[in-house]
Structure 1
Amino acid sequence: MQGVSEAGIADLLIVGGGVNGAAIARDAAGRGLSVQLVEQHDLAQHTSSASTKLIHGGLRYLEYYEFRLVREALIERERLLGIAPHIIWPLEFVLPHEKHLRPAWMIRAGLFLYDHLAKRKTLPSSRGVSFAVHPAGKILKPSYKRGFTYADCWVEDSRLVVLNAMDAAERGAVINTRCKLKSARPEGGVWHAETDAGPLKARALVNAAGPWVGEVLGQKLGLNTKNAVRMIKGSHIVTRRLYEGDHAFILQNPDGRIVFVIPYERNFSLIGTTDVPFDADPNKVEISVEETSYLCEAVSRYFRTAITPADVVWSYAGVRPLYDDHAAEAKAVTRDYVLDLKHDNAMPPLLSVFGGKITTSRKLAEHALEKLLPAMGRQVGASWTGTAALPGGDFADFDKYLSEFRRRFPSLSPDLARRLVRSYGTRAERFAGTNMGEDLGGGVSEAEAAYLARHEWARTAEDILWRRSRLGLHVPEGTAARMDEYLSRAVSAG
C-alpha cells in the first residue's frame, strides 16, 4: 500500500490539507518518506482559499521589524514564480502617497529595503510616479498627485495547495480528503491514529491543522502546549471591475492598516483584507456588515467613483491561524511561523505548525523536515522543492507556451485555452481536445470535471467552482446541479 511501509506504518502522518500540510507532504514524499495526509474537508477549504491571493514579501511587515520573514518571503516569491508560472504571475502595485499617514521618506526607505533584502531575478524595482502620467491617475481622486509602484505576485491560492498535494501523491503520498482525525496516541514508539479512513500508524505526526491546531493537540492528542494560535479573521469583497488596467492598488487607511484593490477574474475587482479577532467556530466564518462597510469606505476614500455595499457581488472570509505573540492589536500580530517539536522516550516525534503565510509555505515545509528527520533518526538530505516544477509548471514562458497550446488544440476558443493553461499548465494536455464531452456550464466540460475528480480530489461542484477555480463567479444558473450530478456518477464509476 502506498504511504506505508511493509509493516503498515507510515513514516509521517500529516493532519491538515491546507497549504502547509500539502507542502510538507510534498517535501517529505520527495525525500523518500512514506506519507499519509488526512484532511477533514476538501483541500484548501478554509484559510488557504480565503487569502488575498498574493505571493509577496509583506511590505507593511517592515514597520514591525519582521526583516527575517520579509527576506524569506521575497526569496520565496522568486522561487514560487519559477516552479508554478501557470498559477503565479507578476503584478504591479500602485501606492498613492497620503502624507499625513506615512511620510514619503518612510515609504521610500521601506521600498528600498523591499527591493534589496533579497535578490530579484524577474520583478522590477520600485519607483516614484506622477499620476498626471501614470494611468492610475484616472482612477484616483484628483487630490492624489504622486505615489509609488512596486512589484509582487498573484497566486491562485487553493490551486497552489492542490498542486502540492498532487506532486506529493505522484511521489507516493496518500492524500485522504474528507477524512477526520478522531484521536491519536503514542504506543511502542509509534503514533496510533483513528481516522474516518480507519486506523493509521506513523513514526511521526505533523499537526498542520491551521485554526484547529490547538484542538488537535488538546482534544485529539490530549496534550498541552505553551504555544497558542491567535485567530484573526480576514474578509474580502468582490465587485464588478472598478477600472481598466492590470495594476493593483495598495491603499493606506487612517487606522494604519492597508487595503488591496486587485483585478480579479477578468471582470471583477477583489478588495481586502480586514484584521478582526475571532474566537468562534472556524467552520462558520463570514464577513460582517462592519467589515463590508470598512472595505467600501477604504476604496471610496481614494477612488473617484465611490462604492457601497450594494456593489458587492460576492464576499468571503477566512481565519488566519497566527502564532500568538501577544501583540496588542490584530494588525501587529506576527505573520511568521513557529514549528514546535515534541519528542522524548515516551513520545515519537510530533511537530505542530503555528502561524505562517502562503508565500512561505514551501520554506516552512523545508524547515519542518529539517527538524523532523533527525528526530526520526533519518538523514536530512538536500532540499529539492525550490527548483522542481509543480504539476503543470514545467515551462519557462507563459505566453510562449499558451501559443503552442493553442496551435495544438485549435478547436478550443482563445478564452478557454487561456483559462485551461492558467489553471493546469501542461497538465491541460491530458484532457484538452476535440472530444471533451458535454459542457456542464460556463465552459467546464465533462473531460475537465473528470480530470478534477480523478487527479485533484474534487467531489462536489463547490470544490470545482470555488476552490479548483473561481468559475462560480461566471457560470450560468444550474451549472452546480449539473456538475454535482455528473461528479456523483463519475466518482461512483471510479
Structure 2
Amino acid sequence: MTNDSLAAEPDLNDSIYDLVVIGGGINGVGIARDAAGRGLRVLLVEKGDFAGATSSASSKLIHGGLRYLEYYEFRLVREALAERERLLAIAPHIAWPMSFVMPHIAGLRPRWMIRTGLFLYDRLGGRISLAKSKAVTLTNTLLGKPLKALFSQGFTYSDAWVDDARLVVLNALSAQQHGAQLLPRVSFEQAKRVGHFWHIEVKPTEIHPSPEQIPTHIRARMLVNASGPWVESVRARIELNDSILDEGILESNIKTQKQAGLGQLRLVQGSHMVVAQCYEGNHAYILQHTDRRVIFMLPYEHDYTLIGTTDLPLTDPNQQPTMTDAEVEYLCDAVNQYLEHPVKPQDVIWRYSGVRPLMDQGDTDNPSAVSRDYELKIEALNEVVPLLTVLGGKLTTYRKLAEHALDDLSDFCIDLPKGWTDQEVLPGGDIPDGWHGFEAWQTQFIAQYPDLDSEWLASITRRYGTLIPQVLSSLKSQSAPFGVSDLGLHFGGGLYECEVRYLRQNEWAWQAEDILWRRTKCGLHMTVDERISFEKWFKQHNL
C-alpha cells in the first residue's frame, strides 16, 4: 500500500460499509480478512501500527497450551491444536514445527500426570502432522547438554513457532487483497446508532502520512470492537441507543440493552527477555517452576534464546507495559534451576512486554490460571445494527475466533457465505507441499541468486516466502545478474534499502520502529549506533 492508495476512494466520507472493525491486532485483522473474503464491504481502523501492542509481544508460539489441561480447558486445547495444524498449512513461511523438551523434576508434577497430559495433547486436536510425545533420556545427549546433571530424564512433544507480528500484517494484506479498506494510525473517537446504521467518527493520528485522505465520519451496518486491552474504554465511547426511538424500538428493549455489560476483564502483563544463545539446536525447553508456572526457553533469531513469560496484574491499559527488574530476576531464577551455566540479569540483550486482556470469571486470584479462551458478545436492537465485542483470546485461535464472529453476525446478513480462511494461504505462503516442502523450496530459491549472501536470503524467505521477488525488485527490476549493490544501502543487521522501501510501500511501515521490531527483527541484530543512523535516514527519506 502506498501513501496514495487511500485516494482510491474519493467518496470515502460518504461510503456505507457492511462492517467496521476497531482494532488492528490479530483478532481485528482476522475478522476483517474473513469478512472481506465473504463479500462484505469492510473498513478497519487502528490507532497505532498493526500488531503494535499485544499481538507482537507474545511468546511467538502457535500451540494448544499444554498447561491449560490442568484447568480442564479441553475445548480450548482441542480448538487450538486443530488451529495449529491449519496455521502451519496457510502460513508455512512464517510458522514451523518445534520440538519441546520438558525435563522431569521430582516434587512437582508426577510422571503419571505428565504422561497423561501428553497423551491427551497428542490426540485432542484430531489428526496431526507433528511428531507425538515420548519419554527421553537427557544424560549425554544434545537435549540434556545445557542442563544440570541431576536432570537425567524428561519428555519431548511437538508444537509450533510463528512470527506473530508478520502473522498480523499478512492477514491485513490478505484482507486488503479481498477488498477491505485498512486505516492504521487512525483512532476511533466515538460511534452511535442512528436508525439502521452506526455513525462512526475517526481521526488520523499526528504521524499518519496522509491525514487529508482519511474520512472523519463513517457509516456502517455492523460494528466490531476488537481493541484488545482497550475493549472497555472503546465500549464506553459507543452509544447503543441514540436516535433509536424514532425507529420504533420498544423502550423495554432499550433498557435491557443499557443494563448489558461486558463482564470483568483482567489485564495481565506478560514479559519476555532475550539473551545470547543458551544452547545448541532448534528445540525449545518448557521448564516447571517451583510456583507451578511453566517457563519457555526458545531458539530465537539464530543467535539468541527467548525466555518467558511472566504474569503481572495490571489495571490501566494505557500504562506502557515495561518489563520490571523483578520480572527479569524471576525468569533468571526459574531457568537457573535447570541450566548448568546460569543466566544473569546483565545478560539480557532485549526485553519486551505486552498486555493480555483475559476474561475474568472471578474463580481465581492467580493470573496464570485465568482462562485464555474467548467470548464474543453481540448487542443488537430489533435485530439490526449489531455491536460485536471480542473478549479474551490467544494468538493460536485467532482464525477460528474470526470465523465464529462472522458466523454470529450472519444473523444480520442475507445469504452470507460460509467460512473460507482455512483453505487459502496467507500472502507468500504458496509453497509447494507447505511447511513440509519449505526447505526444498528455500534451497532452490537461494540457488537462483549466487551473488547474494545465502544466510541473508534464508532469513528473508522466512519473512516473505514467495513475495521475495517483490522485495528484491523494489529498487531494480529483477534481471540477471542481481548482486548485493542492487539491494541498496545496508543499514546493518541484514536490513537493506530494498526491503525498507518494500515495507514502506506495501506493508504500512511508516515508522522506523515498525521495521526494526515488527516487520523484521533486524533491530536486535544492529548496534545502537546503526539503529540511530537508520532512524535518522528513515525520517529524512519520504519513500
Any idea what SS the aligned residue of 1:89 has? strand
Taking the aligned partners of 2:409 and 2:46, their CA distance within structure 1 comes to 21
CA gap 1:250/1:2 in 2 versus in 1, 3 angstroms: farther
1:352 to 377, 389, 410: 389
Q: Whole-Å Cα distance in 1 between the matches of residues 537 and 402 of structure 2?
A: 36
Q: How far did 1:254 drift?
A: 1.3
Whole-Å separation in 1 of the counterparts to 2:150 and 2:9:
62
User: What is the percent sequence identity of the aligned residues?
Assistant: 47
User: 1:198-237, aligned counterparts within 5 Å?
Assistant: 198-221=216-239, 225-237=261-273
1:272 partnered with 2:308 = yes
1:326 matched to which residue of 2?
Answer: 362
Match of 1:461 among 512, 520, 525: 512
d(CA) in 1 for partners of 2:92, 2:289: 32
Range that drifts further, 412-421 or 103-112: 412-421
The amino acid that maps onto 1:338 is E
Deviations 1:238-282 (A, max 9, x none): 111111111110000111110000111111110000111111244
Aligned to 1:154: 161
1:335-374 alignment runs, 5 A limit: 335-345=372-382, 348-374=385-411
SS in 2 for 1:138: coil
Unaligned stretches of 5+ residues in structure 2: 1-7, 204-213, 241-257, 473-481
Correspondence for 1:399: 439
- Partner in structure 2 of residue 116 of structure 1: 123
C-alpha displacement of 1:325 = 1.5
Contact 2:142 2:280 in 1 (8 A): no
Inter-CA distance 484–312: structure 2 relative to 1 (3 Å threshold): closer
Q: 1:3 to 1:127 in 2, by over 3 A?
A: farther
Where in structure 2 are the equivalents of 1:415-430 lying within 5 Å? Answer: 415-430=455-470
Q: Secondary structure at the match of 2:499?
A: helix
Structure 1 residues 43 and 5: CA distance shift in structure 2, 3 A? closer
Match of 1:135, SS state, is: coil
Higher deviation after alignment, 258-267 or 276-285: 276-285
8 Å CA contact retained: 1:192, 1:201: yes
The alpha-carbon deviation at position 374 of structure 1 amounts to 1.6
Seen in structure 2, the aligned counterparts of structure 1 residues 365 and 244 have a Cα distance that, compared at 3 Å, is same
Q: Secondary structure at the match of 1:200?
A: strand
Are residues 364 and 2 of structure 1, via their aligned partners in 2, closer, same or farther at CA, if it must alter by over 3 Å? farther
**CA contact 2:493–2:524 (8 Å) conserved in 1:** no
Cα root mean square deviation, aligned: 1.9
User: TM-score by structure 1 length?
Assistant: 0.96
CA contact (8 A) 1:181 1:220 kept: no
Structure 1 equivalent of residue 249 of structure 2? none
Change (3 A) 1:175 1:483: farther
Number of residues of Structure 1 aligned to a counterpart in Structure 2: 491
Letter in 1 for 2:23: G
2:496 to 430, 441, 445: 445
Deviates more, 1:427-436 or 1:385-394: 427-436
Q: Aligned with 2:275: secondary structure?
A: strand
Q: 1:388 aligns with which of 424, 428, 442?
A: 424
2:199 to 175, 192, 200: 192
Distance 2:416 2:131 in 1: 35
Q: Are the equivalent residues in 1 in contact too, given 2:230–2:317 (CA < 8 A)?
A: no
From 470, 476, 493, the equivalent of 2:527 is: 476
Match of 2:274 among 232, 238, 242: 238
1:36 corresponds to: 43
Q: Distance in 2 between matches of 1:3 and 1:27?
A: 25
Structure 2 CA distance, aligned partners of 1:2 and 1:260? 47
The 1-side partners of 2:239 and 2:281 are apart by: 51
Aligned-pair distance for 1:308?
1.7
Quick check: 1:322–1:354 contact (8 Å CA) kept in 2? yes
**CA contact 2:222–2:385 (8 Å) conserved in 1:** yes
Using the alignment, how far apart are the partners of 1:322 and 1:345 within structure 2? Answer: 30
User: Which residue is 2:338 aligned to?
Assistant: 302
> Which blocks of at least 5 consecutive residues in structure 1 are unaligned?
none
Alignment of 1:85-124 (within 5 A): 85-124=92-131
